[in-house]
Structure 1
Amino acid sequence: MFVRTESISEFFRYYPIIVSLVTIHILLYLFFNIPIFPGNLLFELMAGINLNIAEGELWRFITPIFVHGSFPHMLFNSFSLVLFGPVLERQLGKGRFISLYLLSGILANVATFILKPFTYVHVGASGAIFGLFGFYIAMIAFRKNSLSRQDKDVILTITAIGFIMTFITANINVTAHIFGFIGGFLFGTMSLKK
């Protein structure tokens, strides 16, 4: 289920939302880091700066989902999306998948704004990625037959490792990971219990 067997052209055709999100991650990262572009100004406009949010810049609840602070940060989140997103994009459809992704990321950023100091600055898609994990956990809880035993084991293991790494790695927005996960779980609970 999580092993990709499609060709690149098939992947692009089957999962346009994931391809679009990863493309945005890569293009923004390049724009911010190639010296010929005035990327620092745009980065500052898109980052989740709590003080600016408090002053009314509400777009910062959304834009940090697409911005990453380093190449490994962007690569890891994009790889996670490519690995764990296709099943959900196929099952949920484009509209519901992007809703899950964005709502999880937004909830993660709102919680970060509420629970972190005004001086806190945050970027990254990890809250939205953890929302995918939350949805999978809802699938395990409420649609027991929708995943094989092996797939359940993979999801439970990856989610556990994700949370362990969240708490032992420096400079991680723990709040975003937790609330992104909660957002995905709640989205899954509402979707799957109908």
Structure 2
Amino acid sequence: MLIIALEFSTIVLKNIMRKWPMFTRFIHNAYPVFVEEGFELLSDRKEVDIFSEDVEVVRFIKRHNTILYIINFWNMLNIDFEVFTHRNNAYEKKLTEFFERLNCSHIIVLNLLITEEEMEFKNVSIFHPDQDIYSVSWIVELPTKKILVNKGDADEVLNIRQLVNKVFNIMDPSFDSEEENLRKYKDKIRRKIPLKEKSNNTALTYGIIVVNLIIWFVLELNGGSEDVNTLLLFGANEPFLVLKRDQYWRLVTSMFLHIGFSHLLYNNFALYLFGTRIERYYGKVKFILIYFTSGIIGSIASIFFSNTVSAGASGAIYGLSGALLFLAYKTRKEIDGFNTYTILVMILIGIGLGWVMPSIDNAAHLAGFLSGLFAGKLLLFPWKNRQ
């Protein structure tokens, strides 16, 4: 009998909830979700009954680090946009008066305009992250389960978007699977869209290859590319000369020298594979920065981890491969036939050979690769564009 009574009461409760306005149903499901995330209900005597059909706004508050977050759920069925604007401005003015007493660095007010009809913002917001109190407004359309962000506003505050979607899923269990399927579909389509080229030619890569070939022929005509004295004469890297004789220019000149034809062939082929793609999708300036930064750091690593004469563009080339690996991983796209997996395999094979063959300068390879990986990340997403 007890089980039957519980099932009956559950059915009755569900039927009652179905008859509630959508805002009341939304708040009824949102309350435990937000409380579980550490939010507290902020109410005065007029707003105690948050499940009332007449309620106009329900406020939650949470302190995260030094920032105070206030989430306002506005019942747009009971008020219009002008009333919301007037009351929100008054509320912000009140917060300004009490700001110093709240002991926080910033206050972010997120207004969720809960509506059962289509709504549009009537003005454009301008994001000012340096303000003490900043107000963000989103429209939450319950029938369509969409979150609309005002142009110029922040599109994410804490993990509120995720929490609202969680509430949607509680109200309609099919929403989560639809949202996930839509995300997977968009991701699949995004992967098929080719990357935007930053350069319509790869002249720099071919230019460096030509320079490498010319210098190699010059070495062959002046004692041979495998002769130590010839290599040193033309600028090979050597710890004593760099550190004790201050010949730092060797860190750069050694990048254009190659020891033997097989070394020349392997490096230039690798330069063609990675260099053309970096130049095309990062652009010429960033290509030069990645190439020479990685090459110089590779030469420096060679000095401290090797006591022999060294030469070659391997550090720079591994830097290009590191930047390309980051680009493929971040965009999850194939870059002219290369994806994250193929690039990583090529890099691991090259580094693996370095441990087996003693003549390969693995210190330069690893230093160049890590430099290129970091440079690729930094140049793909400059700090000035981050929030």
Same fold, judged at TM 0.5 (above)? yes
Matches within 5 A, 1:1-20: 14-20=201-207
Q: d(CA) in 1 for partners of 2:287 and 2:242?
A: 26
Residue 139 of structure 1 is matched in structure 2 by: 327
Matches within 5 A, 1:19-30: 19-30=206-217
**CA positional deviation for 1:45:** 3.6
TM-score normalised over the length of structure 2: 0.43
**CA positional deviation for 1:41:** 4.7
1:3-29 deviation line (CA, Å, top 9, x unaligned): xxxxxxxxxx82111111101110011
- Contact 1:142/1:189, CA 8 A, preserved across alignment: no
1:53 aligns with 2:204: no
Matches within 5 A, 1:10-159: 14-34=201-221, 41=230, 43-54=232-243, 55-117=245-307, 120-145=308-333, 147=335, 151-159=339-347
Q: CA 1:34–1:158 in structure 2 vs 1: closer, same or farther (change >3 Å)?
A: same
Q: CA 1:139–1:32 in structure 2 vs 1: closer, same or farther (change >3 Å)?
A: same
Q: CA 1:42–1:170 in structure 2 vs 1: closer, same or farther (change >3 Å)?
A: closer
Show structure 2 runs of 5+ residues with no match.
1-199, 383-387
Amino acid at match of 2:237: G
Amino acid at match of 1:159: I
Q: d(CA) in 2 for partners of 1:150 and 1:41?
A: 38
Q: d(CA) in 2 for partners of 1:112 and 1:128?
A: 13
Show structure 1 runs of 5+ residues with no match.
1-12
Kindly report the root-mean-square deviation, in angstroms, between the aligned alpha carbons of the 2 structures: 2.4
Counting helix residues as a fraction of each chain, which structure ranks higher? 1
Q: d(CA) in 1 for partners of 2:217 and 2:333?
A: 42
Partner SS, residue 339 of structure 2 = helix
Residue 7 of structure 1 is matched in structure 2 by: none
- The count of corresponding residues between Structure 1 and Structure 2 is 179
Partner SS, residue 278 of structure 2 = helix
Q: CA 1:56–1:148 in structure 2 vs 1: closer, same or farther (change >3 Å)?
A: closer
Q: d(CA) in 2 for partners of 1:25 and 1:150?
A: 25
**CA positional deviation for 1:43:** 4.8
Q: d(CA) in 2 for partners of 1:42 and 1:167?
A: 24
- Contact 1:64/1:124, CA 8 A, preserved across alignment: yes
Residue 6 of structure 1 is matched in structure 2 by: none
Sequence identity percentage: 28
Residue 350 of structure 2, aligned match among 162, 170, 174: 162
1:191 aligns with 2:385: no
**CA positional deviation for 1:164:** 1.2
**CA positional deviation for 1:187:** 0.2
Instruction: Name which structure has the greater RCO, CA cutoff 8 Å, separation 6+.
Output: 1
Q: d(CA) in 2 for partners of 1:104 and 1:30?
A: 25
Q: d(CA) in 2 for partners of 1:22 and 1:45?
A: 18
Q: d(CA) in 2 for partners of 1:102 and 1:114?
A: 19
Q: d(CA) in 2 for partners of 1:31 and 1:165?
A: 29
Q: CA 1:78–1:148 in structure 2 vs 1: closer, same or farther (change >3 Å)?
A: closer
- Contact 1:139/1:146, CA 8 A, preserved across alignment: no
Q: d(CA) in 2 for partners of 1:43 and 1:20?
A: 24
**CA positional deviation for 1:147:** 4.5
Counting strand residues as a fraction of each chain, which structure ranks higher? 2
- Contact 2:223/2:230, CA 8 A, preserved across alignment: no
Q: d(CA) in 2 for partners of 1:134 and 1:177?
A: 10
Q: CA 1:80–1:150 in structure 2 vs 1: closer, same or farther (change >3 Å)?
A: closer
Q: CA 1:138–1:42 in structure 2 vs 1: closer, same or farther (change >3 Å)?
A: same
Amino acid at match of 2:371: G
Structure number with greater Rg is 2
Q: CA 1:150–1:135 in structure 2 vs 1: closer, same or farther (change >3 Å)?
A: closer
Amino acid at match of 2:248: L
